[in-house]
Amino acid sequence: MTATADRAASALERYEAVIGIEIHCQLRTVSKMFCSCSTQYDGAPPNTHTCPTCLGLPGALPVMNKAAVEHVIATGLAIEGQIPARTQWERKNYFYPDLPKGYQISQYAIPLAAHGRLPIETSAGPFVVDITRAHLEEDTAKLAHGEAPSANGYRTTLVDFNRSGAPLMEIVTEPCIRTAEQARRYAEELQLLLRAIGVSDADMERGQMRVEANVSLRPRGTEPFGTRVEVKNMNSFRAVERAIAYEVDRQAAALDAGEPLTMETRGWDDGRQATYHMRSKETSEDYRYFPEPDLPPLRVDQAWIDGIRARVPELPAARRARYAATGITPYDAAVIVADPGMTLAFEAISAAGPDLPAKEVANFVTGPHARLAKAAGLNGRGTAGASDPESIAAILAAIASGRVGRPIGRDLLDRHLADGTPAADLLATVASTISDEGALLAHIDAVIAANPRAAADFRAGKPVVGFFVGQVMRATGGAADASRVTELVRQRLGTEA
Ligand code: ADP
Ligand code: MG
Ligand code: ZN
């Protein structure tokens, strides 16, 4: 345990943490929220994906993106939330250089989804996170601050409008989270869910999923909330957990010392592993929300909701339960479902080999397959190399039935993964060794000759066939059909009796 984690643990004996999480995620759509500019601006030169609408030029009119609305409704359904029959767009007014209109089109009074929940698993057991709302809005432009002052002595800041107007979903939880681990697990589970339903790539490092944590403390056993601090700039799940643990520790030390806490926004510095003051937040800003006059209210009828519900695929929790029911451990099920590449492989191999023991498939997927995918830098983004599920299933079936021994089978899998050689070709090379009965009998006779006492035991009726089969399999490097070896061993020992 690190010193910070240690102190946080002792702080938690005296204080209870109250945590609420706000997550912004970029939605996976072809075009932006209110114009037809493409959202594929990643890596594009600055200001090449713009139009009068997303530049915020006066007089340009917004047209809403139906796919983005459907993504938020799908998310709302996946978190068991309520979808109102009528909602509206509202202007959130504030000044900032990344927002040239002077307002952001968002939702306020009536979000597209409300009162949802997301069950999670933690080291202390299951926990349910209550979700206040999920709403739709537009993203801002991106500012690039210059390092050195320019010739006139000013520091330059450049504005890139490629991101301006991209569809953004904000998901806000109740202040119901009590530990840093619950917060991390919630963010992880939400990422899985968003990816499973295909609404967001939700990559934290690429800013597609931005997590903010609101943290306050209260003495254990008391009700009223303490002063809260908002923490930003965490770009990994680990950073979310660390930043909250750090904040709990920092706030406990301040409270113990009798220092008042202030409402502030803090950033997470991953290098220093500490939060730092960004700006104070003494009064809550007044955004003067009002209904967007350029867009009609949004009506969501039951038929539309039902259509979207019908397209929501199996959710991660249901998938984990289904996998665990096939006989693999809940741990393996969680590992596989947490990784899209492993999930794809598990599904494809199971489909190609419906009679395969699930444990055999799971071991392959979390073992050799995962190692190869990691080495290839796939990071859960696809299946490994030139392999095909039918071949994998065929080799696994040969292992499971004992047709090839485990060491040989593993070797065949590696060879298949390396260059995609079809299983039939690989198994044929092994089959040629075993089908040579003369060679096999030589191995068997040698093993019998080397173990006279066991041979005598067999003749005395003791159950030692397995011992001989094991020895023969070892002698052939696993390249023998175990059931054929069993027959031959019985024959040889019998005729010699
Ligand atoms: P804002 O608009 O300033 O972000 P919200 O009321 O929308 O404020 O709350 C944002 C988040 O902060 C929510 O997730 C909420 O649950 C959480 N929150 C509210 N009060 C507290 C508190 N005292 N301590 C921790 N989190 C809180
Ligand atoms: Mg906030
Ligand atoms: Zn545009």
Could you tell which of 16, 19, 21, 22 is best to mutate to test the pocket of ligand 1, judged by most ligand atoms within 8 Å of the CB? 22
Q: Are 158 and 31 in contact (CB under 8 A)?
A: no
The pLDDT score that the predictor gives to residue 404 is 83
Q: Are 199 and 74 in contact (CB under 8 A)?
A: yes
CB of 114 closer than 6 A to ligand 1?
Answer: no
Which atom from ligand 1 is nearest to the alpha carbon of 173?
Answer: 14
Which atom from ligand 1 is nearest to the alpha carbon of 175?
Answer: 16
What are all long-range contacts of 204-208, with beta carbons under 8 Å and residues at least 24 apart?
Answer: 204/234, 204/235, 204/236, 204/237, 205/235, 205/236, 206/42, 207/26, 207/235, 208/25, 208/26
Instruction: For residue 352, give every residue at least 6 positions away whose Cβ sits within 8 Å of its Cβ, in sequence order, or none.
Output: 389, 390, 392, 393, 394
Nearest ligand atom owner, CA of 54: 3
Q: Is the dihedral of CA 329, 335, 337, 342 positive or negative?
A: negative
In whole angstroms, give the CA distance from residue 93 to residue 103. Answer: 4
Instruction: For residue 476, give every residue at least 6 positions away whose Cβ sits within 8 Å of its Cβ, in sequence order, or none.
Output: 405, 433, 434, 440, 443
Running along the chain, 497 residues long, what does each successive block of 10 average in pLDDT?
Answer: 63 92 98 98 96 96 98 98 97 95 97 98 96 98 87 88 98 98 98 96 95 97 96 96 97 94 95 95 82 97 98 96 94 93 93 94 93 71 65 93 83 89 88 69 91 92 90 79 85 71
Q: How far is the CA of 163 from the centre of ligand 3 (A)?
A: 9
CB of 227 closer than 6 A to ligand 1?
Answer: no
Q: How far is the CA of 47 from the centre of ligand 3 (A)?
A: 10
For residue 115, what are its two tokens?
């009162």
Which atom from ligand 1 is nearest to the alpha carbon of 227?
Answer: 23
Alpha-carbon distance values, 326 to 209, 310, 331, 333, 357 (Å): 33, 25, 13, 10, 8
CB of 173 closer than 6 A to ligand 1?
Answer: yes
Q: Are 18 and 175 in contact (CB under 8 A)?
A: yes
DSSP H helices, 388-464, are 389-400, 406-419, 423-435, 437-450, 452-459
Instruction: For residue 308, give every residue at least 6 positions away whose Cβ sits within 8 Å of its Cβ, in sequence order, or none.
Output: 70, 73, 74, 77
CB of 22 closer than 6 A to ligand 1?
Answer: yes
Q: Reduce the DSSP state of residue 247 to 3 states and report it.
A: helix
Nearest CA, atom 8, ligand 1: 284
Helix (H) or strand (E) holding 136, with range, is: strand 125-138
In whole angstroms, give the CA distance from residue 146 to residue 142. Answer: 13
Q: Does domain 437-495 have CATH number 1.10.4160.10?
A: no
Strand 274-280's sheet: what is its strand order? 113-122, 125-138, 167-173, 15-26, 209-219, 229-234, 264-269, 274-280
Q: How far is the CA of 471 from the centre of ligand 2 (A)?
A: 67
CB of 343 closer than 6 A to ligand 1?
Answer: no
CB of 74 closer than 6 A to ligand 1?
Answer: no
The pLDDT score that the predictor gives to residue 497 is 41
Q: Which residues pair with 130 in a beta bridge?
A: 117
In whole angstroms, give the CA distance from residue 163 to residue 3. Answer: 40
Q: Are 287 and 95 in contact (CB under 8 A)?
A: no
Q: Are 469 and 458 in contact (CB under 8 A)?
A: no
Share above pLDDT 70 across residues of the chain, in percent, rounded to a whole number: 94
- Residue appearing with tokens 């204080």: 15
The pLDDT score that the predictor gives to residue 381 is 42
Nearest ligand atom owner, CA of 18: 1
- Closest by Cα among 164, 184, 311 to 236: 184
The pLDDT score that the predictor gives to residue 266 is 97
CB of 214 closer than 6 A to ligand 1?
Answer: yes
DSSP 259: P
Which atom from ligand 1 is nearest to the alpha carbon of 226?
Answer: 23
In whole angstroms, give the CA distance from residue 300 to residue 438. Answer: 75
CB of 164 closer than 6 A to ligand 1?
Answer: no
CB of 18 closer than 6 A to ligand 1?
Answer: yes
Looking only at the bridges linking them, the beta strands covering 229-234 and 264-269 are parallel
Residues of the chain with CATH 1.10.10.410: 437-495
- Closest by Cα among 38, 68, 79, 74 to 136: 68
C-beta neighbour count of 64 within 10 angstroms: 17
Amino acid at 439: A
CB of 106 closer than 6 A to ligand 1?
Answer: no
Could you tell which of 214, 227, 247 is best to mutate to test the pocket of ligand 1, judged by most ligand atoms within 8 Å of the CB? 214
DSSP 297: P
Mutual angle of helices 437-450 and 452-459, in 10-degree steps: 100
What are all long-range contacts of 301-310, with beta carbons under 8 Å and residues at least 24 apart?
Answer: 301/85, 304/73, 305/73, 305/77, 305/83, 308/70, 308/73, 308/74, 308/77, 309/77
Which atom from ligand 1 is nearest to the alpha carbon of 20?
Answer: 14
C-beta neighbour count of 116 within 10 angstroms: 21
